[in-house]
Amino acid sequence: MTNENSESQSPPGFIGHLVELRNRLVHAILSILIIFIALVYFANDIYGFVAAPLISSLPEGTSMIATDVTSPFFAPFKLTLFVSLFLAFPFILHQIWGFIAPGLYKNEKRMLIPVLISSILLFYSGIAFCYFIVLPIILGFFTGVGPDMMTLSPDISSYLGFVLKLFFAFGITFEIPVAIMLLCWSGATDTQSLKEKRPYIVVGAFVVAMFLTPPDILSQTLLAIPMLALFELGLILASFSNKKQEPTEQEN
């Protein structure tokens, strides 16, 4: 009788988790949609802001072009959708947290809340670093190395794909300190082991940068160097956190 009751009660619990997951996914999608509706009127202005580093690097008398009839409409539209996704990132993480938090212990919740906040700030910092520092360097270099007889007129769609790829790459890359801290806290590795593997990580950083950035050595280097710096920062934070937790564990 007891086994039958427990078996009959398990499906509703499982279904309840699925329903909650569905509701949180719907809320996350709605947040993106609401932000998109609020921003779509300013789609052209948003694209102008993102294209500003390229426009300032172009020679006088040149401008961007659209090689497809639909590009002047769909390029700003697509960019606005991605901007809505980036802006909704904190609310999406909040929905993820709301789904997993009931299954965590109190000490795990105290540990993960700063991690979530840090991941949001680091993600936006990566995009800001890419826009204000990396893009002017890359675009200034590539627009200045061509032959004089060439007229540079970048396509708005190809530039959008180039920029979004870089934004995504730098946003994810800036999460490295959080990833290292989580790996060390979970026991999957430790700071000493990561320090011993530093030469392999240096090579791996350039390999990852090769896949995440456009096929040029400048973009790869500008991504690999921050990756290595963030790796070192993650080691420092993980070491500091472990030293801080050791006295607490001894007291317990």
Per-residue pLDDT of the chain (252 residues; tens, 9 = 90+): 444 444 444 455 678 778 888 999 999 999 999 999 999 999 999 999 999 999 988 877 778 888 888 898 899 999 999 999 999 988 998 888 888 877 777 777 777 888 888 889 999 999 999 999 999 988 888 877 766 666 778 899 999 999 999 999 999 999 999 889 888 887 788 888 888 989 999 999 999 888 888 777 888 898 999 999 999 998 888 887 666 555 544 444
Per the domain annotation, does 23 fall within a domain? yes
d(CA 252, CA 59): 67
Residue 126: domain span: 2-174
Per the domain annotation, does 206 fall within a domain? no
CB 125 within 8 A of CB 178: no
Per the domain annotation, does 216 fall within a domain? no
Which DSSP helix (H) or strand (E) runs through 127? helix 106-129
**Would you give the DSSP letter of residue 154?**
-
Which DSSP helix (H) or strand (E) runs through 59? none
Per the domain annotation, does 59 fall within a domain? yes
Per the domain annotation, does 242 fall within a domain? no
Task: Kindly report the pTM of this predicted structure.
Answer: 0.82
CB 138 within 8 A of CB 218: yes
3-state SS class at 183:
helix
Structural domain count of the chain:
1
d(CA 189, CA 183): 6
